[in-house]
Amino acid sequence: MEKGQYAGTPGNENISGSKTGDSITVRIDGRVERVRRGITVEELNRQFLNDADEKKPVSARLNGELVDLSHSIDEDGEVAFIDPSQPEGLEILRHSTSHVMAHAVQELFPGTKVTIGPAIDNGFYYDFDSDHTFTPDDFDGIERRMREIIAADHPFVRREVTREEALEIFSRQGEDYKVELIEELPEGETISIYEEGGWVDLCRGPHVTSTGRLGHFRLINISGNYWRGDARNKMLQRITGTAFSSQDDLEKYLQWLEEAKQRDHRRLGRQLDLFQINEEAGAGLIIWHPKGALLRTILEDFERREHLKRGYKIVMGPQLLKMDMWKRSGHYDNYRESMYFTEVEGQQYGLKPMNCLSHMLIYKSKMRSYRELPLRYFELGIVNRHERSGVLHGLVRVRQFTQDDAHLFCTPSQLADEITRIIQFVADMMKVFDFSYEMELSTKPEEKTIGTHLDWEQATAALQRCLEKSGQPYTINEGEGAFYGPKIDVKLRDVLDRQWQCATIQCDFAMPERFDLTYIGEDGQRHRPIMLHRVILGSMERFIGILIEQYKGAFPVWLAPVQAIVMNITDAQREYALQVEQQLLMEGIRIESDVRNEKLGLKIREAQLQKIPYMLVVGNQEMKQGSVSPRLRDGSNLGPISVEQLIARIREESRVEVSA
């Protein structure tokens, strides 16, 4: 389990005092106390704080280090207690629950081997190697045994053993995966193991004092995962669960999960007939159906218009470029594990993971003057990246995707204004889709970088100044910049309060140097432009996946691939319904017709499942009047209106105002 950030107690002066005798000095809850040497953390809490059950700590930090409550304090120090309401406390509770789950699984399914079982965001998991194929039908039995283990209130007992002792323990148990982990540890290193109810696992802890502190949990999912994430290793079975400190928190989370399930873009993508991911074609590759392709086209056309309004020039580059180009750019040395390569007539090529190289070649196609700058090249460019199968997920993590990519070339004096314009562009677009967002400044990685230290300092300072000028709060994300420059990462929040990485703004002094990009300045001399890499929505696939879940498939009228469907009540109105469809098509309305010889109620229900904004019912009255009776997808009726009124209404609802 990873160690979190230490949030210390009031007062920060050093604690010092005599280390002889039977007493030591401890700072606790902002005050200093003399206590007996060897007092446990739990005894200290009971003696001085006497917390209520709901605030009873699960662990503590002793001089900044996470320890169990059973840990003895043998020298002066500072203690900060951690209760389940804190992120660290909840993580410890979940980690302890994962041990109970593994204990139950191994009892119920003899011969099963355990690998690792950490706490994760919103829960925990364990990876198992078992002859039994787990299914959700196993959950009831596993949970029942877990509750029995919890009811027994077994203490979690920590033991520190040598490497040799640990190898003997886990070899005797036949736990090959644990043995592999231990063998990789340095000679002489002390190893900790935890035991509860006779069940032992390799773990650095800490854990709750006993299994009785647990209880509010649920098993959620089963998935496959290669040992250590390497496809060359054996496929394991991962059981994922969640746990909370109260039943109320658990129920709220389970409700959230159900809502997330209802919004899942993979489920809605099938229901709305938008796309498919077919293993016959290949994992992580999206096949767009007519409605999905139309949705993409609407979004992409909208983006093209917005870029043209802001002075961008639309360009296009090839999918393949010679290997020499990728070596020159630094991608081969720093990014090749994420690339695909091929050979054409004895020449090595790389399938592009980014669009920047072609844009630099366009810039370099002729001599540039400072009067031409800034130059802003925009491409909805298809890129390919090698993602491991274990991380692929619907539309949001794929192997081929389209970026709304742009590269800007400017002078040093134009840099701040260009960054500021991009920040505003992001704000304008997020407002269209009603997304809130947060910004991070990602700085130079420790390894795999190009460019000089001065380049990185100047680029980072430029981004930071523009962020501060914008007034937008931001955090520093140390070491997470691209290999060629620092970046601003924009993380939007969706309706379920999840964060998604979409927009990014990267400042690059290095590639213009590598590709010898120049412009003629006012002084008649050659100068090096600065290059900005940026996306606004990011991956179009990911953004559409987010939109599907944001709107629960009920897209606003301007974005809906089908804005209206006309349906007749009887065969007598069939021809009129088709006339209405044709009239609206000619006016640019995206409309379909349902003139099957079926009951109207069935047609309406099917249209509602397709989440079509307008269902246009036509009967004899509407046919006589030349009108339609619109029914909205929320179930409300507008009553008879003329076709012209309907067209005006849909056009008004399809207006998207974006300031430029």
3-state secondary structure 14-58: CCCCCCCCCEEEEEECCEEEEEECCEEHHHHHHHHCCCCHHHCCC
Q: Is 213 a catalytic residue?
A: no
Could you tell me the pTM of the whole model? 0.83
SS3 per residue for 193-231: EEEECCEEEECCCCCCCEHHHCCEEEEEEEEEEEHHHCC
Best CA proximity match to 311, nearest among 409, 411, 427:
409
Look up residue 186 and give its DSSP letter.
P
**b/e code 613-624 from CB counts within 10 Å (16+ = b):** bbbbbbbeebbe
What are the tens digits of pLDDT across the range 321-331? Answer: 999 999 998 88
The one catalytic residue among 296, 407, 421, 603: 407
Helix (H) / strand (E) containing 287: strand 287-288
450 contact partners, CB below 8 Å, separation of at least 6: 330, 334, 483, 484, 510, 511, 514
Which listed residue (154, 291, 356, 631) is catalytic? 356
Identify whether 533 is a catalytic site residue.
yes
Distance CA 170, CA 165 (A): 9
Which of 99, 376, 487, 542 does the annotation list as catalytic?
487
Whether pLDDT at 6 is above 80: no
3-class DSSP string for 79-115: EEEECCCCHHHHHHHHHHHHHHHHHHHHHHCCCCEEC
| 113 part of the active site | no
- What is the DSSP code (8-state) at residue 528? P
CA 504 to chain centre: 14
> DSSP string covering 351-392, please?
E-S-SHHHHHHHHTTS--BGGG-SEEEEEEEEEE----GGG-
116-139 confidence digits (pLDDT tens): 999 998 999 999 999 999 999 999
Choosing from 154, 238, 421, 533, the catalytic residue is 533
Mean pLDDT (the chain) is: 91
Let me know: does 616 contact 565? Beta carbons within 8 Å.
Answer: yes
At 14 the pLDDT is 38
* Residue 407 appears among annotated catalytic residues: yes
- CA dist list (Å): 295 to 272, 277, 281, 289, 357: 11, 17, 22, 10, 29
Q: How many CB atoms lie within 10 A of CB 151?
A: 11
Would you tell me which CATH number, out of the four given (1.10.3720.10, 3.90.1750.10, 1.10.630.10, 3.30.980.10), belongs to the domain 88-263? 3.30.980.10
Q: Which option is the CATH number for 23-83: 3.10.20.30, 3.40.50.80, 3.40.50.970, 3.40.390.10?
A: 3.10.20.30
Q: Which CATH class is domain 564-653?
A: alpha beta
Instruction: Tally Cβ neighbours within 10 Å of residue 390.
Output: 16
Tell me what the mean pLDDT of segment 473-494 comes to: 87
Catalytic-role residue among 86, 106, 403, 550: 403
pLDDT, position 390: 72
225 contacts 235 by C-beta, under 8 angstroms: yes
Give the model's pLDDT for residue 123.
95
Q: Are the C-beta atoms of residues 479 and 445 closer than 8 Å to each other?
A: yes
User: What's the Cα-to-Cα distance from 361 to each of 259, 364, 407, rounded to whole Å?
Assistant: 47, 5, 12
Among 43-57, 249-263, 578-592, the minimum mean pLDDT is found in: 43-57
Q: Which of 56, 291, 385, 603 is catalytic?
A: 385
Mean pLDDT of 207-225: 94
CB neighbours of residue 149 within 10 Å: 21
pLDDT digits (tens, 9 = 90+) for 59-116: 999 998 999 999 999 999 899 999 888 999 999 999 999 999 999 999 999 999 999 9
Q: How confident is the model at residue 606 (pLDDT cuts 50, 70, 90)?
A: very high
Give the span between the Cα atoms of 178 and 174, in whole angstroms: 9
CATH for 287-319+352-551, options being 3.30.70.20, 3.40.50.1010, 3.30.930.10, 3.40.640.10: 3.30.930.10
392: left (phi over 0), alpha (psi -120 to 50) or beta: beta
pLDDT at 51: 54
Q: Are 560 and 536 in contact (CB under 8 A)?
A: no
From the candidates 405, 489, 508, 594, give the one annotated as an active-site residue.
Answer: 405
Q: Is 516 a catalytic residue?
A: no
pLDDT value of position 16: 39
Q: Catalytic: 5?
A: no
Would you say 161 and 171 are in contact if contact means Cβ atoms under 8 Å apart? no
> Residue 45 — very low, low, confident or very high, per pLDDT cuts 50/70/90?
confident
Spell out the domain ranges in the chain.
23-83, 88-263, 287-319+352-551, 564-653
172 given a catalytic annotation: no
